[in-house]
Amino acid sequence: MSALSLALPTRAGRGAFGKVVLNEARLTSRQPIAPIAGIAIPVVLLVIFGELPVFHRTAPDFGGLDPFDAYMPILVVFSLAMLALLGLSVPLASYRELGVLRRLSTTPVPPSWLLAAQGLVQICQALAATAIVMVAGIVAFGAPVPKSLDGFAIALVLSIAGLIPIGLTIAAVARTANAASVIGRIAFFPMMFFAGLWLPRALMPPVLLDISNYTPLGAAVQAMQASMLQGFPPVAPLLVLGGYAVAFGYLAKRFFRWE
């Protein structure tokens, strides 16, 4: 009972998984805290940054980057982190707190379906947020189309793959929805610092940059930035993201409790 498993029982009614996903989407839309924080905030920041002239003046100490271009991947990972660390973990912790997972484990549908459905809903939101930020940045504010679209796609997929297990691990260790929310927020801010939200990576001293390279959001920004401006991203940040996916995937599986 302690392990996450997505074994599909053959006996459950047809369409049950679809109904589970539909219900998760309904619940998200009825209490849209995560989509507002994870999609609306980055989009609003994008518009503000795009309208500020200072963000379009290439400064030598910005590593030759247009500051607006530098912020595009930061806003994308803002969205991914918000959805994974809070959007995913809080409802799952609340389902355990309410006894929904326990109740589900007495039916032909395993409670792991609820995790999968919730993950699917968050991933859809993450992809939508990324699309909105990228398209708006390119179309409305003249950001360049990524030099390597494949590279960007791979960086995005690995970023999501690295962050979702972190959210699941938070849901695993938090006893209540409130605890998940607190842990998620405590994790969010330092992670966003190393993504460069307050001090872009181009301006970080070497020590901070080294640390940033090994944080999930730092690696994600590094990979996305490279795919946007240079070409296919270097292997190092992709490996870091893959490492987080494996490590936190293990932790989530190890520590998740259904009741």
Partner 1 sequence: MGPSAAPVGELNGRVGGRQPDRVLTTVPVAAGSAAGVPAVEITGLRKTYGGLVAVDDVSLTVNQGEIFGILGPNGAGKTTTVECAIGLRVPDSGTIRLLGLDPQADRDQVHEIVGVQLQSSAMPARLRVGEILDLYRSFYREPADVAELTGALGLAGKLNDYYKSLSGGQRQRLSVALALIGRPKIAVLDEMTTGLDPQARRDAWGLIEHMRDRGVTVLLVTHFMDEAERLCDRVALFDTGRIVALDTPASLAARARGGKVVRFRPSGEFDDHVLTELREVTRVERGGQRVIVTGTGELVNAVLFALAAAGVSAFDVQLDSSNLEDAFVKLTGTHLNEEGTLT
Query: Least CB distance from residue 19 to partner 1, whole Å?
Result: 4
Burial of 157 (0-12, 13-18, 19+ CB in 10 A): middle
Query: Least CB distance from residue 192 to partner 1, whole Å?
Result: 29
Task: Closer to partner 1 by CB, 171 or 197: give it.
Answer: 171
Task: Closer to partner 1 by CB, 138 or 179: give it.
Answer: 179
**Site of interaction with partner 1 (CB under 8 A):** 9-16, 19-20, 23, 26-27, 30-31, 91, 94-95, 98-100, 102-103, 105-109, 259
Task: Closer to partner 1 by CB, 35 or 67: give it.
Answer: 35
DSSP string, 21-34: HHHHHHHHHHSTHH
What DSSP element (H or E) covers 81?
A: helix 67-82
Task: Closer to partner 1 by CB, 106 or 206: give it.
Answer: 106
Cβ–Cβ under 8 Å, residues 49 and 33:
no
Query: Least CB distance from residue 53 to partner 1, whole Å?
Result: 44
Q: How many residues does the chain have?
A: 259
As a whole number of Å, the CA-based R_g of the chain is 19
- How far CA 28 is from CA of 31, 118, 167, 184, in Å, comes to 5, 9, 16, 17
Query: Least CB distance from residue 167 to partner 1, whole Å?
Result: 18
Cα distance between residue 149 and residue 145, in whole Å: 8
What the block records as the tokens of 118 is: 């919730």
Query: Least CB distance from residue 98 to partner 1, whole Å?
Result: 4
Angle at 59 between CA 54 and CA 64, to 5 degrees: 125
Query: Least CB distance from residue 97 to partner 1, whole Å?
Result: 9
What the block records as the tokens of 220 is: 């994600």
What the block records as the tokens of 185 is: 């927020």
Task: Closer to partner 1 by CB, 31 or 230: give it.
Answer: 31
- How far CA 184 is from CA of 23, 177, 180, 233, 252, in Å, comes to 23, 10, 6, 28, 14
Task: Closer to partner 1 by CB, 101 or 160: give it.
Answer: 101
